[in-house]
Chain A
Amino acid sequence: MTDAELEAYVNATLALQGFTLDDERRARVVATFARNAEIARLVTGFDPGELTDPAPQFVP
């Protein structure tokens, strides 16, 4: 995802969810989301296998 695509996603999702932020606040959320996306890549870049289902209630 390019920076522009990421920013477009954040802007669209903010609007979809009902947030109305000024440009400064929006920029901070974009930067935070970009960091989240980087961390999420560690998760999405790993294949835990087809049979691993997320439990609706986690039991350790």
Chain B
Amino acid sequence: MNGPDRAAGEDRSAPATGPVDVAACARAVAQGSVSARSLTEAVIRRIARRDPHINAFTAVTAERALRKADAIDAARARGAALPPLAGVPFAVKNLFDVAGLPTLAGSRLHERRAPATVDAVLVSRLEAAGAVLVGALNMDAYAYGFTTENTGYGPTRNPHDRARVAGGSSGGSAAAVAAGMVPLTLGSDTNGSIRVPSSLCGVFGLKPTYGRLPRTGSYPFVASLDHLGPFGTCAEDLALAYDAMQGPDPADPACAGRPLAETLPALADDGPPLRIARLGGYFDDWIGDEARAAVEAACFALGVRDLVELPEVARARAAAFVISASEGGTLHRETLIRDYDGFEPHNRDRFIAGALTPAPWYVHAQKVRAWFRDRVREVFAHWDVLIAPATPVPATPIGEDWLELRGRRLPLRPNLGAFTQPISCIGLPVAAVPIEGVSALPIGIQVIARPWREDLCLRVAARLERIGIARARITGEDAWK
């Protein structure tokens, strides 16, 4: 895959300790060309050097990481077979439980909470596969936002232009990969929180089907819409991590009891031909020039000529909005009554207003959601994959409130999710894919498939990489001079 180049002049004595992709890290450790300890130490040094400029990390778990790395090196020394991700450094959005850390969910209020005693299930599964947790990452408070302009912990800055947002709510997760600090991170996506920051930071992201990956040990936002998934430097990174995290978990009632469906083999792209169409209508109405160029470039490369319109997309998005407001507001109601002043100013009024949602709105929104799901299922009888923009525009300046788009002045923050919200509303799997050569700042597209077909999303993502128009943008040492 098209992993980024190593940073020039960095860690010359340890050839695989630059910002490479997941497979390269695992291969280097497995072959012994680098020890897990030296790789981990290099990553910790890199975070110390780069993160003050980006503010992606809220905690670095150096001691734990080095312990884990030593265990991997010891296993290799005694000839034990290493698991597939042995030595691969990763970090997680700080709504994942990490034993020994309070689960912040982006809120200063949570610093007072007792530290987690066990890791989130996905953290445990990645570590069981040999990956090495190196820290926790910044986010919009309680995941209610698309910019990671966090008042308590400061904004996460876009590595490609530090005056601009990284996207959100998993902004730290995308920025940490884009800044070359780690090749793999985890985030959450309720309305677009993996896909929006992937697009703005120029990295790959995967929002799996709703119910595919267990959320046990992660702090919720909207239980009926919350998804978890990985960020990486290429489609292969996502497949390796995603395959290691799959599997049922009875502790998450929404998690499907489906068997493992490996996606890595799909990247060879040697399956039956795919029927791919581009989403038009609503998705054309709200699109900026760079996003349009990205979609057109991807469709041209894939030979896509057909345009498909989904019915009532704006209503589906509104349904997701109402459900999010109601469930999120209800979740935080007591905290807001008790500690309004300590709550994130960017979203406390939105949470309160959400808590006041009349029940008929909520129930009707769930009905609209089910109706939309059924209509989109009919579309997937004719198509395997749908292509859509991920964000209307590339990264906007930190502090910006408004978006000028095709002659309209729109509130910026909610509208960064205009294209992602209707898709996650019905739980479809989506790969966010960065498209090269269409704009100065990164911009991505959504590669969407029917439920449970993450393999198709990643297959098309890998094809776009192979063609040469999809590529993660990872900043190197030059960015800091």
Contacts and interface: CB of A to CB of B under 8 A. Distances in A.
A4 interface: no
Contact of B363 (A10, A21, A54): A54
B386 interface: no
A58 B224 contact: yes
Contacts of A25: 340, 349
Contacts of A57: 224, 253-254
A8 B358 CA distance: 14
Contacts of A19: 336-337, 352
A58 B210 contact: yes
Interface in A4-59: 9-10, 13-14, 17-21, 25, 28-29, 32-33, 36, 39-40, 42-44, 46, 48-49, 52-55, 57-59
Contacts of A60: 209-211, 373, 426-428, 451
Interface of B: 209-211, 224, 253-254, 256, 312, 314-315, 318-319, 321-322, 325, 333, 336-337, 340, 349-350, 352-357, 360-361, 363-371, 373, 426-428, 451
A13 B319 CA distance: 22
Contacts of B322: 36, 39-40, 43
A13 B356 contact: yes
B361 A40 contact: yes
Contacts of B369: 54, 58
Nearest to B426: A60
21 contacts: A9-B356, A17-B355, A19-B352, A25-B340, A29-B353, A39-B318, A43-B315, A43-B364, A43-B368, A46-B315, A48-B370, A52-B367, A54-B367, A57-B224, A58-B210, A58-B366, A58-B370, A59-B211, A60-B210, A60-B427, A60-B451
A40 B367 CA distance: 13
A53 B367 contact: yes
A46 B366 CA distance: 12
Nearest to A19: B337
The 4 closest A-B pairs by CB, nearest first: A54-B366, A60-B427, A48-B371, A42-B318
Contact of A48 (B318, B349, B355, B368): B368
Contact of A32 (B315, B350, B367): B350
Contacts of B355: 17
B467 to A, nearest CB: 29
